[in-house]
Structure 1
Amino acid sequence: MHFSGLLAVAASVASASAASQGFNYGSTKSDGTFLYQADYESLFTAAQGLTGTNGGFTSARLYTTIQGGSSTNEPSEAIPAALKTKTSLLLGLWATGTDGEFAAQITALTTALGQWSGWTDLVVGISVGSEDLYRDSATGKAASAGVGEDATVLLARINQLKAAIKGTALEQVPIGHVDTWTAWTNDGSPPTDVISAIDWLGVDAYPYFQNTQSNAITSGKSLFEQAVSNTQAVANGKDIWITETGWPVSGSVENLAIASTDNAKTYWDEVGCPRFGNVNIWWYTLQDAAPTTPVPSFGVVGSTLSTTPLYDLSCSNVTSLSSNDASSSSSSASASATSSGATTLATAVVSSGSPLTPTQGSGVYGSGNSSSVLATGTGGYVASKSSSVATGGSNLTSSSGSSGSGSGSGSASASKTSGPTSAPAGPTATTASAASFMSASLVAAFGAMFVAVLTL
């Protein structure tokens, strides 16, 4: 009986340590030049050493398996960098493009299997595509989000990946797809065949870009929770992974949303901290301002790569949710949103906040060109932009487009509809410090196991 009790505690430790926590990484710098192994190693090492995080950011989400600039579809050099720095990987296969272009993604992946030893142990999942359904949807087309793929093409490419990795070290790795909640729900007609074919659903959520709603930072948490809960409603019980979210430190005013370090910290505290160590989450982003600063800019570090963040990441005095509580919170948000009518596609335009650069054709298919939308990781986005840019640290919100303590003036160009009037009731929570990060959660879990063993 003592042994079975120990196994039960050990199982809880495994569960506590299972959540991945990291950042999104593209294949290029902000000026379009390519990232190579040394660059990835520097980024991964900086993420692990971020002040205030207790070494918790040890995972990387990639958008493509192909090394930028390669002429023969060579595997991404992020893979050996991850192996050297012990960084776990959410691999991405870029799924928008011709059949030949997707086949090149598969080739790069299978080539990597024979090129490095032991790296497959670091893979926590594989994503087929990123926001392809959103870009192909009426909502995406209205936002001029670029070229996407429909559910039929996406399903075929998911099955193509499964066939390619059958019998390999990646065969048991969970496969998913990443998209916006509007694409997952599709106005009442979700892509059920795609959902049935995958193991998890990835959600990209950017309240900052929801510029047809009341999207001030005070509504950021509730808008995020609505995005997750709306996806859960069509997931048939499958896991939801948070694959992209964040708030910019500088950039244009989007209706009521102001980009600032203060607001970025508020969003980190209210959305990130309760989930770090409890659910799989990849933040956007570690750094996007090197060598040039995009508009908007989401990086938690500035133009010089370092372990010193632009705002406090410690999660001190922030409430932490268990994985079950996080689901309950999202369910409450869904009920609130449904009753207010705020979650219909007609009133919630999710402008792409992911690292998509529709006008740039490098980085995903090696050195070749493609007419498709390409993921370069430079922070490009499609949204109705305002003329004002907020660069300061003010926590102000504005309906007139004023930029707080930042520079610029003017009115926001996006239309505004009524959004949620209050945040949903939160679940039971406990006060957390930096221990809410994954590595600290593991230490706490082992501590609990040690106490339990002493009482056996």
Structure 2
Amino acid sequence: MKIDVGSFAVLSAAFSSVAATHLGFNYGAFFTDGNPRTQKDFEDEFNTARGLANSPHDGFTSARLYTMVVRRHLSHPRRHRHQHLPPARIWCSAGDAGVTNELAALHAAINTYGANFTALVVGLSVGSEDLYRNSATAKANNETDPGLDPATLVGYIHRVRASAGVRAAVDWLGMDAYSYWQREQANAVDQGKHLFDLALNQTRAAAADAAGSAGGKKPVWITETGWPVSGEKQNEAVASAENAKRFWDDNVWWYTLRDSSAKGTAQPSFGIVGADLAKGPLFDISCGGRVEEPEACDAM
């Protein structure tokens, strides 16, 4: 169950304020078999995202990266060609050495590409899911990856902010919300939007508390959400392309464009496209004329 504030209200440090809504997907660094994605792999997926049939608005031109480093070159930055780059994510549960490598890659990218890089960066996500994985909810879901307590995570946020040369510890809060995983509640797909809205309201409340203690507005970004096209049933939640389409219509950085399964098997599978990018979306991603948009969400 990934719905309580401690589960997904991720404290994040942004390099710049964002007025427009950004639509995009999350992108992992490795395939399921452990092989790293290459620059060509990323470019193929970025181009696929941009050209998805029936894309809403101006298409999916934003990418949220799960790491900034390249395997075997831990301080070497990734090169990406996309209209908007991160939030890139720093996985703080990996420990101090992991954060050091991420920051080294960030500095290397800035030094190498300069404004050509920084002009594309939307923000930097510090500690995505670290709070959730340290919660009682995560332990009940048998999560095996480590988590962090809030005090430790805030320390990493301050470290990143010091590197960015800015003052406040938090610019925005990111929300990762998955109704599918809420096994302890009625979580059939027809409850998906209701559970999503509950999560959003809880995150807004956390953002209001943060604004009250630090001053100024703390916007909410929807950093991850989705419904799997295949996988095991979770309480009342059934994984299928039909249900993924319904959740998509109701609610997008969607998790994910393509699962890390082109060279392995991911279950459950949340991908919009399958292993063959040329085959396009697994379900119709047009929004069917819906005009509702989440209120006061600055990026998705």
Please give the range of the TM-score, normalised by the shorter of the 2 chains: 0.7 to 0.9
Name structure 2 gaps, 5 residues minimum: 1-16, 209-216
Which of 128, 152, 174 matches 2:126? 128
Name structure 1 gaps, 5 residues minimum: 1-14, 173-195, 273-281, 328-437, 439-456
Q: Which residue of 2 aligns with 1:200?
A: 172
Bigger radius of gyration among the two: 1
Q: Which residue of 2 aligns with 1:151?
A: 150
SS in structure 2 of the partner of residue 251 of structure 1: coil
How do residues 47-446 of structure 1 correspond to structure 2 at under 5 angstroms?
47-53=49-55, 55-67=58-70, 69-75=71-77, 77=78, 80-82=79-81, 85-117=82-114, 118-145=116-143, 146-166=145-165, 197-236=169-208, 237-272=217-252, 282-288=253-259, 289-306=261-278, 308-321=280-293, 323-324=295-296
Structure 1 position 235, deviation (Å):
1.3
1:320-351 deviation per Cα after TM superposition (whole angstroms, max 9, x unaligned)? 33635x79xxxxxxxxxxxxxxxxxxxxxxxx
The one of the two structures with greater contact order (alpha-carbon pairs below 8 A, sep at least 6) is 2
Structure 1 position 319, deviation (Å):
3.3
Q: In 1, Cα distance between the equivalents of 2:153 and 2:270? A: 29
SS in structure 1 of the partner of residue 142 of structure 2: coil
Q: In 2, Cα distance between the equivalents of 1:57 and 1:17? A: 17
Q: Which residue of 2 aligns with 1:375?
A: none
Structure 1 position 17, deviation (Å):
7.1
Which of 37, 40, 48 matches 2:39? 37
SS in structure 1 of the partner of residue 93 of structure 2: coil
**Counterpart of 2:86 in structure 1: which amino acid?**
L
**Counterpart of 1:60 in structure 2: which amino acid?**
A
Structure 1 position 127, deviation (Å):
0.8
Structure 1 position 114, deviation (Å):
1.0
Give yes or no for contact 2:18–2:122 (8 Å, CA) kept in 1: no
SS in structure 1 of the partner of residue 86 of structure 2: strand
Structure 1 position 16, deviation (Å):
11
Give yes or no for contact 1:47–1:58 (8 Å, CA) kept in 2: yes
1:296-328 deviation per Cα after TM superposition (whole angstroms, max 9, x unaligned)? 00111112013621111111232333635x79x
Q: In 1, Cα distance between the equivalents of 2:157 and 2:279? A: 37
Moved over 6 A (4+): none
Q: In 1, Cα distance between the equivalents of 2:18 and 2:68? A: 29
Q: In 1, Cα distance between the equivalents of 2:258 and 2:55? A: 16
Structure 1 position 263, deviation (Å):
0.3
Q: In 1, Cα distance between the equivalents of 2:169 and 2:154? A: 7
Aligned residue pair count: 271
**Counterpart of 2:218 in structure 1: which amino acid?**
K
SS in structure 1 of the partner of residue 244 of structure 2: helix
Give yes or no for contact 1:201–1:239 (8 Å, CA) kept in 2: yes
**Counterpart of 2:256 in structure 1: which amino acid?**
T
Give yes or no for contact 1:110–1:165 (8 Å, CA) kept in 2: no
Structure 1 position 123, deviation (Å):
0.6
Give yes or no for contact 1:46–1:307 (8 Å, CA) kept in 2: no
**Counterpart of 1:45 in structure 2: which amino acid?**
N
SS in structure 2 of the partner of residue 233 of structure 1: helix
Give yes or no for contact 2:91–2:130 (8 Å, CA) kept in 1: no
**Counterpart of 1:59 in structure 2: which amino acid?**
S
Structure 1 position 197, deviation (Å):
2.4
**Counterpart of 1:239 in structure 2: which amino acid?**
P
Q: In 2, Cα distance between the equivalents of 1:322 and 1:294? A: 30
Q: In 1, Cα distance between the equivalents of 2:255 and 2:183? A: 19
Q: Which residue of 1 aligns with 2:23?
A: 21
Q: In 2, Cα distance between the equivalents of 1:232 and 1:201? A: 8
1:100-153 deviation per Cα after TM superposition (whole angstroms, max 9, x unaligned)? 222121111111111224111011111111111111122223333221111111
